[in-house]
Structure 1
C-alpha cells in the first residue's frame, strides 16, 4: 500500500519537468547548458585527465558510453531526478561539468557535483558556475537545500564549495571508495535562507 505524505512537497511533481532544462548564465561570461551530442569528444577526453580520474571513480569507457550517459541525463530531467550541465566559456568551449542529482522533491533537497578541465582550474570557473546553479536551484526552481561532498584530501573542491556559499557541516568517515582506498568525505550544504 502506498504511503501518504503528511506535509506538502517542497516542489510539486511535474514542476520542473514541465519545461526544458534551463540554460543559466554565470558571472564572467560563463553559460551552463544541457550537454549536446557535439560534446561527446571533450567529455570523454576529460575523464583521461589524472585529476578527474582521481576524484571521480565512475568514468565512461567510450564515446558510445558518453552518449548513453547524455541520454540518461535527459531522462533524469524528464523524470525529475537530476540536471546535468556543461559549463561553457567564450565561444561555447566546454570548461567543465556541473550536476544536481538525487532530487528529493518532497524535502526540496539535491546533491551537487562538478569537475573542471585543466585549463579552467584556478580561475574561479567552478565557483561561479556553482553559485549560478545554486541561485537558480534555491530560487526559481524551489529547492530548499543543496548538498555536496568531496574527499577530505581534495582541497581544491573544498575551496570551491566554501567560496560558493556551501558551509562545511562535517566529515563523513570512510564514506567513499577511491582508487587508493576509502576516503573520509567533507559534507557541505547551502540553504535557501543562507
Structure 2
C-alpha cells in the first residue's frame, strides 16, 4: 500500500506537503548554513544538486520507502524545515524520522511540531502495515536534536557506536512506540 500524496501531517502554524521542484531555490539558500551542512549528508550547492536531492525525495514517495515533507511557515509560505519518515522494508515494525530546520526558523519550535505531526501521521497511515516504533537518531554532539527528540516524546533508548566515515561520532537512538 502506498500512502496517497494528498495525506498530510498537520502541525500548528505549519503546512506540510511533499517537496516540489519549485523548492530548489529555497533549498540552495537553506543549505548555505554551515550548521545544517554539518549534520546532513547530501550537499545542495547548486541547481543540479538541488534537482538530485529532490529526485531522492520524489523516488522515495513513489517507492514507498521515504516520505519527505517540505515544512512551510503557514503565515509566510516560506520553507522552514524538512521532515521525513524513512520506512526501509515495507510492512516493517520500525521506521526512522529525520529532519532539518532552516537557520532562520531555529528556536521557534518548528522541528518538534513537525516531528510530532509526522509521527502521528505515520502511526495512523501505516497502522495496518504494522508500524509500531519510530526511531530518531542523532550524533552525540547535536544537542539541539536531543532536545527535539525529548520535546517530541521520543525517549532515549541507547548510545550508538560511531560508524566512520558516514557517522564519525557516537550517536543516540531515541524511540517512540505507537502505544505511547
TM-score by length of structure 1 reads 0.84
1:94 aligns with 2:79: yes
Question: Structure 1's 176 and 45: CA in aligned 2 closer, same or farther, altered over 3 A?
Answer: farther
CA shift for structure 1 position 176: 4.9
2:158 counterpart of 1:190 = no
Gaps of 5+ in 2: none
Q: Distance in 2 between matches of 1:162 and 1:104?
A: 26
Question: Secondary structure at 1:104's aligned position in 2?
Answer: coil
Deviation at 1:43, TM superposition (A): 0.7
Question: 1:186 aligns to what SS in structure 2?
Answer: strand
Q: Which residue of 2 aligns with 1:12?
A: none
In 2, Cα distance between equivalents of 1:187 and 1:109: 13
Contact 1:177 1:183 in 2 (8 A): no
2:139 to 134, 151, 158: 151
Rounded Cα–Cα distance in structure 1 between residues aligned with 2:26 and 2:105: 13
Per-residue deviation at 1:103?
Answer: 2.8
Deviations 1:83-110 (A, max 9, x none): 1111111231110111112433232321
Corresponding position of 1:43: 27
Instruction: Give the Cα–Cα distance (whole angstroms) in 2 for the partners of residues 24 and 136 of structure 1.
Output: 5
Residues 158/57 of structure 1: CA separation in 2 closer, same or farther (3 Å cut): same
Structure 1 unaligned runs (5+)? 1-14
Contact 1:84 1:100 in 2 (8 A): yes
1:16 aligns with 2:2: yes
Q: Which residue number corresponds to residue 95 of structure 2?
A: 110
Which of 95, 102, 105 matches 1:120? 105
Question: 1:72 & 1:58 partners in 2: Cα distance?
Answer: 10
- 2:43 is aligned to 59
Q: Does 1:173 align with 2:158?
A: no
Distance 1:51 1:130, change over 3 A: same
Question: Where in structure 2 are the equivalents of 1:21-32 lying within 5 Å?
Answer: 22-27=7-12, 29-32=13-16
Match of 1:164 among 149, 152, 157: 152
C-alpha distance in 2 between matches for 1:61 and 1:112: 24
Rg larger for: 1
How big is the shift at 1:21? 5.3
User: When the two structures are aligned, how many residues end up with a matched partner?
Assistant: 176
Any conservation in 1 of the 2:15–2:71 contact (CA below 8 Å)?
yes
Task: Output the aligned Cα RMSD.
Answer: 1.7
Cα distance in structure 2, aligned partners of 1:56 and 1:75: 19
What secondary structure, in the 3-state scheme, does the structure 2 residue paired with 1:31 have? strand
